[in-house]
Structure 1
Amino acid sequence: MKSYEVQIWEIGKRADRKARPWRVRWAVSGQRFEDMFRTKALAHSFRAELVQAANAGEPFDPATGRPVSEARTKNPTTWYAHSRAYVEMKWPRAAAKTRRSVVEALTSITVTLTRPSKRGRPTDALLREALYLYGLNPRRWSEEIPGDHAAALAWLETASVPVVELDSPAVVRRVLDSLCVRLDGKSAAASTVQRKRATFYNVLGYAVELELIASNPVDRVQWTAPEVAQSIDRRVVANPAQVATLLEAVKSLGKRADKVTAFFGCLYYAGMRPSEAADLRREDCDLAGRCADCGADFDDLAAVKPSRSCKHEKIEHRWGRLVLAGTSPRAGSHWTDDGGSHERRGLKHRGRAETRTVPIPPRLVELLCAHVENHGVGPDGRFFRGLHGGPLSESVYDRWWKLAREKALTESQVGSPLVRRPYDLRHAAASLWLNAGVPPTEVARRLGHGVAVLLRVYANCIDGGDDTMNDKIGDALG
């Protein structure tokens, strides 16, 4: 609660007080206050401060009668304590990966915002570990903290700088500069710097909301984060023949590897995110086809069984459909509500109950049918599972993808960016659709993007028109 209704009276002297006779009286929103001073000079100085604050248009606190800025300077809240309050506020509604990302950023920032002269400083490695595992993780605040970590956090409680000190541009610049350097001394990735800067800005914004500081000091610092590449490097994009060869290479690595062949197919033929494919369920799929022998049409080939009249051995796969409803990203057991390594959530950039329908070509229908026949699905209907039946881990499919690249590509291609990551299959799908003439609105819908984002990200991957433009330039040159 703040008030601009301030009245300040002239200094008076009370004859009944000998030690501190000089009195300053003022009122805030009708609430009267007074303070006594030993000398008239001290009383004049205090009154002048009140008058200066009132004339500057500064709000006063009706509870204490003092200018709000004075209350801020006396606030002992440290950066570490404020970071814990911020994490606690964000935790209930944040995704598990967001929680981890915020804590990673705050860990780096909190270690920086300590007093270097404070004795008994633990190593930076121990401070980071204690913050990451316990200090900034509300799920573990009720647990007993190991001795070395507890000691590190106890030191941090006394060594962390007050939030009000971040009102200094020099301190803010020191933090921002620290975000640009990795632990090994090399430059941090531009995306990492921007992500951590955004967290820093938001935490300071929360300090403004709590009236710990007057305004966000980052806005007053002329500091620019490294530029993040907006468009995809077209060298990562594989053509259909290369993708088909890679999928065959995955299949040839053995039955355990073949369990993720259709997974990679989902990334390319349906443009799915890995976390979406990892959560794909049997009930999400319409796998259509036709029996070439009897001419029967089927909406769900995976459920077709031989009949007396036809064994349905010759199947023509047709366009099918996926109705995507959720994702299953891996965040780590420290960050999920149930302690599992993966968190099931709604689709990215969509409401919790929203779905996305994606038509799929006959080739992917065939891959998914083969997967059901050869590997089945989990008790919960999931297509793709880990070695022991749990969620599919990135480390599992990354390993098979690396081996498939080495088997299917040339030596120079293996060393190139070409589909270096499974996620690049999704980029290849988007590029293929755009170059095939599919309207950007439809490509964006199938990918779960906005149109503006789609065109910005894949601008370098759209072919066509170069020869015409070159001819025009050539004609102009004569």
Structure 2
Amino acid sequence: MATTADRPLGDLADAEVFEDVLYRVSYKLDGTPAAGDTYKLDGTPAAGDTYKRRRALNTALEHAVLVGELPENPLQRARRKHVGATDVVDRRVLVNAVQARQLLMSVSCVGSWDRCRGRRLVAFCAVLYYAALRPAEAVGMRWSDCHLPTTGWGTLTLRETRPVSGKRWTDSGERHDRRGLKSREATTDRPVPIPPVLVEILQIHLKEFGTAKEGRVFGNERGGLVGSSTYWRVWEEAREYALAPERAESPLAGRPYDLRHACITRWLNAGVPIAEVARRVGNSPEVIHRRYHGCIDGHEEVANAKIAKFMEEEGDSI
């Protein structure tokens, strides 16, 4: 029986609402992860808790379509979206090293010096550019997740993500949900090696601002979670400072997330194998290849040189 606290069934047609439903299907009522989907060797699904729940959800959704409560089964739509995704990264959003440094410097200039509005977010933006973190991963990062040696490379071991869901839709009543890493089991972490320049930036940040509540590396002026609206506003102002007017009106680094795209592209152009890039950023190699294949410089020239060398060895020359 429906109550006044229940959401209308028709809300499931909203993609964001349904994505949240799919996320919650993978957890038990006590907040612990349900057993993940498992598969037999012949490809047929086994009896994982999450699979059984999705199967029951699919049955209920099919009935809702049959009785006219929903125009289509959103679970089927989600599958089609996953299979046919064409979210290729636009090269126009990618910054080079000089532009990235200018943007980070401009972030520090946003707001008054005493309130530190921009300076608190320099390291936040830096982990997106130098370690390819997602913003929600940076929000949830803790001091205990950081290995910052005095010399050489360090490591960030990511364990959770804090996306904005709204107070009404989180178990804690906070605006930021508490989740495991994207596309991974809830208890799985992801170590990311970081270069000395980022190690130094984080050391300076922690020395100046300390840690926020729960030992988090980044926090607002009250020690709370950094809101998406906060870093978005700072980023928009920083772009105005750092970029020429025609650049500021272009898609170049239009979102903080574009710093992650720039980092991934740098690694690929440096020759890091796709599988290793995928491991560091928390995607599959297939996703990395699909999304960034148009951002890799010089691959045609390298391929042509290999073909020309082979043709020469075969004696196939003019």
SS in 2 for 1:322: strand
Partner of 1:206: 60
1:251 corresponds, among 108, 117, 126, to: 108
The Cα shift of 1:386 comes to 2.1
Give the Cα–Cα distance (whole angstroms) in 2 for the partners of residues 420 and 99 of structure 1. 24
Q: Within the alignment, does 1:236 sit opposite 2:90 as a pair?
A: no
Q: Give the one of 264, 267, 270 matched to 2:125.
A: 264
Partner of 2:35: none
1:84–1:324 Cα change, 3 Å: same
Q: Give the structure 1 partner of residue 286 of structure 2.
A: 452
Paired amino acid for 1:276: E
Structure-to-structure mapping, 1:336-347, within 5 angstroms: 336-347=170-181
CA distance in 1, matches of 2:62, 2:235: 47
Cα deviations by residue, 1:391-428 (Å, 9 ceiling, x for unpaired) = 10011111111111111111111011110100000000
Q: Which of 176, 182, 186 in structure 2 is aligned with 1:352?
A: 186
Alpha-carbon shift at residue 333 of structure 1 (Å): 0.6
Distance 2:283 2:274 in 1: 10
For the residue of structure 1 that corresponds to 2:198, the secondary structure is helix
Contact 1:83 1:203 in 2 (8 A): no
Write the letter of the residue equivalent to 1:368: L
Query: 385, 390, 413: which is aligned to 2:224?
Result: 390
Q: What secondary structure does 2:237 align onto? A: helix
Q: CA deviation at 1:466?
A: 4.1
Unaligned runs of 5+ in 1: 1-76, 91-97, 106-201, 290-316, 473-478
- TM-score (norm: length of structure 2): 0.71
The aligned runs of 1:41-440 (5 Å cut-off) are: 84=8, 101-102=17-18, 205-208=59-62, 229-253=86-110, 254=113, 255-289=116-150, 317-440=151-274
* Mapped partners of 1:103, 1:458: distance in 2: 25
Which structure: greater strand fraction?
1
Q: Secondary structure at the match of 1:259?
A: helix
Shift of 1:335: 0.6
Q: Which has the larger radius of gyration?
A: 1
Distance 2:134 2:238 in 1: 20
Cα distance in 1, alignment partners of residues 65 and 92 from structure 2: 50
Q: Cα–Cα, structure 1 residues 85 and 235, in superposed 2: closer, same or farther, change >3 Å? A: closer
1:1-49 C-alpha deviation (Å, 9 max, x unpaired): xxxxxxxxxxxxxxxxxxxxxxxxxxxxxxxxxxxxxxxxxxxxxxxxx
Q: Is the 8 A contact 2:160 2:178 kept in 1?
A: yes
Distance 1:342 1:217 in 2: 31
Per-residue displacement from partner, 1:53-84 (whole Å, max 9, x unpaired)? xxxxxxxxxxxxxxxxxxxxxxxx99xxx984
Inter-partner Cα distance in structure 2 for 1:356 and 1:322: 8
Cα separation, partners in 2 of 1:350 and 1:210, compared to 1, 3 Å: same
CA deviation string 1:145-166 (max 9, x = no partner): xxxxxxxxxxxxxxxxxxxxxx
Contact kept, 8 Å, 1:86 with 1:206, in 2: the verdict is no
Letter in 2 for 1:280: M
Letter in 2 for 1:287: L
Distance 2:170 2:16 in 1: 9
1:468 Cα offset (Å): 6.6
Q: CA deviation at 1:258?
A: 0.4
1:470 Cα deviation after fit: 8.5
TM superposition shift of 1:460: 1.2
Structure 1 position 259, deviation (Å): 0.3
Q: Tell me the distance in 2 between the aligned counterparts of 1:211 and 1:412.
A: 49
DSSP-derived class of the 1:424 partner: helix
User: Quick one: higher RCO (CA 8 Å, sep 6+), 1 or 2?
Assistant: 2
Go from structure 1 to structure 2 and tell me whether the alpha carbon gap of 1:440 and 1:469 turns closer, same or farther (over 3 Å shift): closer
Superposed CA offset, 1:331-367 (max 9, x none):
1111111211111111011111100000000111011
The question of whether the paired residues in 2 share the 8 Å contact of 1:100 and 1:335 is answered with no
Mapped contact 2:155–2:194 kept (Cα < 8 A): yes
* Maintained 8 Å contact 1:331/1:343: yes
Say if 1:86 and 1:231 are closer, same or farther in 2 by CA, change over 3 A.
Answer: same
* Offset at residue 380 of structure 1 (A): 1.3
SS in 1 for 2:133: coil
Rounded Cα–Cα distance in structure 2 between residues aligned with 1:375 and 1:437:
36
Residue matched to 2:27: none
Give, as a single letter, the amino acid of the residue that structure 1 aligns with 2:138: A
Taking structure 1 as reference, are residues 379 and 390 closer, same or farther at Cα in structure 2, changes over 3 Å only? closer
Check 1:208–1:394 CA distance in 2 against 1; reply closer, same or farther (3 A cut): closer
Is the CA contact 2:103–2:242 (under 8 Å) kept in the aligned structure 1?
yes
TM-superposed CA distance for 1:318, in Å, is 1.8
Structure 2: which 5+ residue stretches go unaligned? Answer: 22-55, 308-318
Q: Which amino acid aligns with 2:17?
A: S
Indicate the SS of the match to 1:351.
coil
- What is the aligned-residue identity percentage? 40
* One-letter code aligned to 1:248: M
How far the C-alpha of 1:211 sits from its partner, in A, is 10
RMSD of Structure 2 on Structure 1 (CA): 3.6
